Amino acid sequence: MCERGTVEGGTMLRGVVKKVVSVEQAEGHGARVRRSIGRKELRRLDPFLMLDEFCVRRPAGFPDHPHRGFETVTYMLKGSFRHQDFCGHSGVIHKGDLQWMTAGRGVVHSEMPASQGDNVGLQLWVNLPAAQKMTQPAYQELSASEIPSATKDGTTVKVIAGESHGVTSPVRTFTPVYYLDLQQETGAATTQPLPHHWNAFIYVLAGHISVVNEEEAVESEAHHTLVLGEGEAVTVKNIGPDRAHFVLIAGEPIKEPVVQYGPFVMNTKAEIDQATHDYHKSCNGFENAATWRSSPLS
């Protein structure tokens, strides 16, 4: 597949260098997810560690589990999820809402469906640089109405992180990231500038799109991840009969060693061993791990 093309003015357009289908797999307690980043076909895309599209019905979900060394970004597309953690933070995110959780030095939490029927969303794991891996846990939560958006020429973009179409997200990130939710009417096209050296990908949620440059057009339908090559912008067009829905995500590579053991992501094996020790001994960020249990949903 072609990596690049040009548009008027000499802008280098990104092409698709890899296309990965998201395969459904078991996760959590009775839950099923479609995973793209994090599978053997696309182990990581620095700074991104994992992307899951989840569709969960009660009583399945993601009960009490730990994290250290990265951030989880949960974006609801349908239904609602309830979050609880061992420091007393709890809340419910609904359709269109965002939770950007910095696990940092340690979080134990639960993520369970809060409504009947299908509860659908995306969860992205974003790595933290070594200097911030042991930072204090923190949350940024935005309701759907707080996520800025813009519409132009048949394309509507919600700016979850970064900037697009003259609007900027209030979300602050340790690692510079763009997270854009785009919907396009039939025949609509849009071009989004991206920093040249950032890694970027598109995940298609619905419809039939084409990533276009001078040399090649790569088409995709739902549940596929399109890894983009180098360039300064990407052009996407809805070529299907229905409304297209996809996310465009890009981030500045951290370029540090990654050692992952389940929910712990550090830079060395020794740091993973320390994280495992701290969790089991309830210390150094996991002080409440041994005694805390999430409360059941009514």
- 55 occurs within a structural domain: yes
- 185 occurs within a structural domain: yes
- Tens of pLDDT, residue by residue over 51-88, are 999 999 999 999 999 999 999 999 999 999 999 999 99
Q: Residue 3: is its pLDDT beyond 50?
A: no
On average, the pLDDT of the chain sits at: 95
The pLDDT assigned to 28 comes to: 93
Give the Cα separation of 139 and 284 in Å (integer).
Answer: 20
Band (160; pLDDT cuts 50, 70, 90): very high
- 287 occurs within a structural domain: no
- 122 occurs within a structural domain: yes
Q: Tell me the mean pLDDT in the region 287-298.
A: 90
- 92 occurs within a structural domain: no
- Looking at the 3D structure of the chain, how many domains does it have? 1
- 220 occurs within a structural domain: yes
- pTM for this structure? 0.94
CATH number for position 68: 2.60.120.10
What domain range includes position 68?
A: 4-74+112-265
- Tens of pLDDT, residue by residue over 207-257, are 999 999 877 899 999 999 999 999 999 999 999 999 999 999 999 999 999
The pLDDT assigned to 298 comes to: 63
3-state secondary structure the chain: CCCEEECCCCCEEECEEEEEECEEEEECECEEEEECECECCECCECCEEEEEEEEECCCCEEEEEEEECEEEEEEEEECEEEEEECCCCEEEEECCCEEEEECCCCEEEEEEECCCCCEEEEEEEEECCHHHCCCCCEEEEECHHHCCEEEECCEEEEEEECEECCEECCCCCCCCEEEEEEEECCCCEEEEECCCCCEEEEEEEECCEEEECCCCEEEECCCEEEEECCCCEEEEEECCCCCEEEEEEEECCCCCCCEEECCEEECCHHHHHHHHHHHHHCCCCCCCCCCCCCCCCC
